[in-house]
Structure 1
Amino acid sequence: MRLHVADHPLIAHKLSVLRDETTPSPVFRNLTDELVTLLAYEATRGIRTETIDVRTPVTMTTGTKLAEPRPIVVPILRAGLGMLDGMTRLLPTAEVGFLGLQRDEDTLEAITYANRLPDDLAGRQCFVLDPMLATGGTLAAAIAYLLERGARDVTCVTLLCAPEGLATLESAVTADADVTIVTASVDEGLDENAYIVPGLGDAGDRLYGIVD
């Protein structure tokens, strides 16, 4: 497993505003969208391409296009939906699947409640979107779900990571899988409620409001 922490002043600035508890939901959504586009640029550095011939107004040249099969973007419901537009802005031809996973607040384990993914992901590059890598249970379950369907190249895009979650993924990911984590920051750790510290609170609630 590889970890890439995107080191860019614009990323640091936008993340700081996201952390601020006074940032309202509309601003939080817009900044998340912008931040994910910046992270997507880093996450797609290894995307597969092939060469093509291109005729310019002057002459013929060699160009590049995304290789088949097309990559698939998989937001983790519900908070991952707030990252989807930022990712597909750079990958408009990618297919989009959905995976519903939530953390049991008592056991802290991930529970699958919905999925909309192809049965066969062999040869597909998968980009998983989840704002927070806290305990690692949700992303570990998502990665396992994709690997069971034949995926071997998975990139997870997160806003924040906790060291505990990274350790969970490190032990869960098999050696034959190519897994990369792209994030804006690795924070200090988890509190007694398994929330990232200093973190930015509950990303889903801050994106969409609290649902009673």
Structure 2
Amino acid sequence: MTQHLTVVDHPLVQHKLTLMRDKGTSTAGFRRLLREISQLLAYEVTRELPLTTQNIETPLQEMEAPVLAGKKLALISILRAGNGLLDGVLELIPSARVGFVGLYRDEETLEPVQYYFKVPESLEDRLVIAVDPMLATGNSSVAAIDLLKNAGATNIRFLCLLAAPEGVARMKEAHPDVPIVTAAVDKQLNEKGYIVPGLGDAGDRMFGTQ
């Protein structure tokens, strides 16, 4: 991927995102929609995976058929809300290795605080896809990418459901080599650092803790 920001404007993605924005959507409905939309977004973020071939036999003849090349890719969930995207992407790529970065946002400073980090080995040999539904201030996302690079990752992509212009700019400044794939870039952040119009707190809506 060469461009820094890709907005997936597929009609199914946009339709499901609208349902997720609606405050009347239930926790179960939100969770289901997040899993569905994550699979659609996964098609875009994995579009340029390297391929090789292997010899197989169809019911009619032998052929050289395309298969994914190299080490299994790594999916990194930025806890806790990242798990909602992770589940859907894993259904599409069940062989992927999985890691977790635990960060929470200090509500006073809006800065990220790390509490957990566990990732697969050999990140330098893998495509690493970090997932988090919201790219708001960008502080947590930048901190997560910092940790992944420190762990050896060199080929990283960031997958989110919604982004704010401030978060996109922050990521581009800190990590211009990390492409972002999202379903929408909203208007702005409010004074509390939430994306507007947004969809509220993705973690709370996913887990019913609002």
Residues 14-163 of structure 1 mapped to structure 2, 5 A cutoff = 14-118=16-120, 120-163=122-165
Give the match's secondary structure for 2:125.
Answer: coil
Local SS of the residue matching 2:141: helix
Equivalent residues of 2:41, 2:183 under 8 A apart: yes
Residues 48-68 of structure 1: per-residue CA shift (max 9 Å, x gap): 222212221222212111222
Change beyond 3 A, Cα 1:112–1:119: farther
TM-score normalised by the chain length of structure 1 = 0.94
- Is the Cα–Cα contact under 8 Å of residues 124 and 155 in structure 2 kept in the other structure? no
Which 5+ residue runs of structure 1 have no aligned equivalent? none
Secondary structure at the aligned position of 1:179 is classed as coil
Q: CA deviation at 1:124?
A: 1.0
2: distance between equivalents of 1:117 and 1:92? 16
1:119 Cα shift? Answer: 5.3
Aligned residue in 2 for 1:184: 183
SS in 2 for 1:73: strand
Counterpart check, 1:202 vs 2:201 = yes
Q: After superposition, what is the alpha-carbon deviation per residue over 1:107-137, rounded to whole angstroms, capped at 9, x for unaligned?
A: 1111110011135411111111100000001
Q: Secondary structure at the match of 1:92?
A: coil
Equivalent position of 2:8 in the other structure: 6
Q: Which amino acid aligns with 1:149?
A: A
Amino acid in the other structure paired with 1:201? G
- Mind listing any 5+ residue stretches in structure 2 that lack a counterpart? none
Work out the CA distance in 2 between the residues paired with 1:125 and 1:138.
20
Paired residue secondary structure (2:160): strand
Q: Say which SS state the counterpart of residue 146 (structure 2) adopts.
A: helix
Partner AA of 2:34 in structure 1 = T
Identity of aligned residues (%): 48
In the comparison of the two structures, how many residue pairs are matched? 208
User: Contact conserved, 2:97 with 2:120, CA < 8 A, in 1?
Assistant: no
